[in-house]
Amino acid sequence: MIKLVITGGCSFSDQFTTDNWTRLLEVKIISKYPDVKFRHTGSQSQGQELIQKKISIALIEELKNYKPNEILVLPMWSGTERKAFWIDNTEIVKDIMSAYEKGEGAYLLQFADLHSKIDQDKIKFVKNTKYNPEGGWYMSNYFIHDSSISKEFFNLHKTVIGFVTMSLENIIFLQNLCKLKGVNILQSFFRSYVYNDIIQNKDHLNLNYLFSMLDHDTIVSTTGVYEHLRPTKILNDKHVSDDLFYKAFKEDRISTKQYFCLDDAHPNVLGHNKWLDEVLLPKLNEKNFFKINKKDIL
């Protein structure tokens, strides 16, 4: 019997909001299994490194309170193109946040710890960004160059191999940690390209040995949440945007708007519920983790 569910991911799984799949799942499960506890670790903008680290530390902490077979881990993996750095050089932190002052920042939280927290007496704000001036985890993205650090890092790469390697390393780490500890895990993806990037490069020397360890039985679906709600047709199998990451999809943005927020990129409550009811809940039922029938779904 599962007594604790640990979730993780990016904005699709953000622990600080109440209308995504993690919170909706909690409501649905607790309505039938009121003693089940949840620990959410997702946070906006984070990629595989922080998703893995935050779930891993939560798992190690919770194994002091629960037996391994009482825990279910549910990571929703994020963008391949995201990178995190641990920075505690305060001069570097200052330089990065000075760029945010000029409007170059695009994150709500920076330099937090692995609990997504900043000590209350250390919190500072630059516009909409909360951060720790003493340092912590700095999140960056291939498409958002908000510091010289991110620019230099992303300029090191002319192919996706390094990014996909980093992505798969963290997926395998968490999967194998769960297996080592005897903990149940079911993995999903926020977008389909995350898994597709792995498949397209699985024969590369950097990836092949990692791919051989990927337990496909732990994957809820290789189709991302976004694509489940907005079925897309891949126009080609090449990365056509900036020679690296691509959005080579033909998207029907009219008939599927009902499942997305105003930004047309993040699922709304209706979309999260649709994915839960059609994808995740049936898998939980199939695996005998929770038996939730249609009549039980709120």
Model confidence over 154-163: pLDDT tens digits? 999 988 999 9
Q: Quick one: CA dihedral 9, 15, 18, 22, positive or negative?
A: positive
Using CA atoms, how far apart are residues 159 and 145, in angstroms rounded to an integer? 18
At the fourth CATH level, the homologous superfamily of domain 4-80+160-296 is SGNH hydrolase (3.40.50.1110)
- The reported pLDDT for the residue numbered 240 is 37
pLDDT of 41 over the 70 cut: yes
**What average pLDDT does the segment 24-35 reach?**
96
pTM, to two decimals: 0.93
Query: Which string of b and e fits 256-295 if b means at least 16 CB within 10 Å?
Result: beebbeeeeebbbeebbbbbbeebbbeebeeeebbebeee
Do residues 99 and 217 lie in contact, with contact meaning Cβ atoms separated by under 8 Å? no
The helix (H) or strand (E) run that includes residue 189 is strand 188-189
pLDDT of 222 over the 90 cut: yes
pLDDT of 246 over the 60 cut: no
| Count of helix runs (H) and strand runs (E) in the chain | 10, 12
| Domain residue ranges of the chain, discontinuous segments joined by + | 4-80+160-296, 83-154
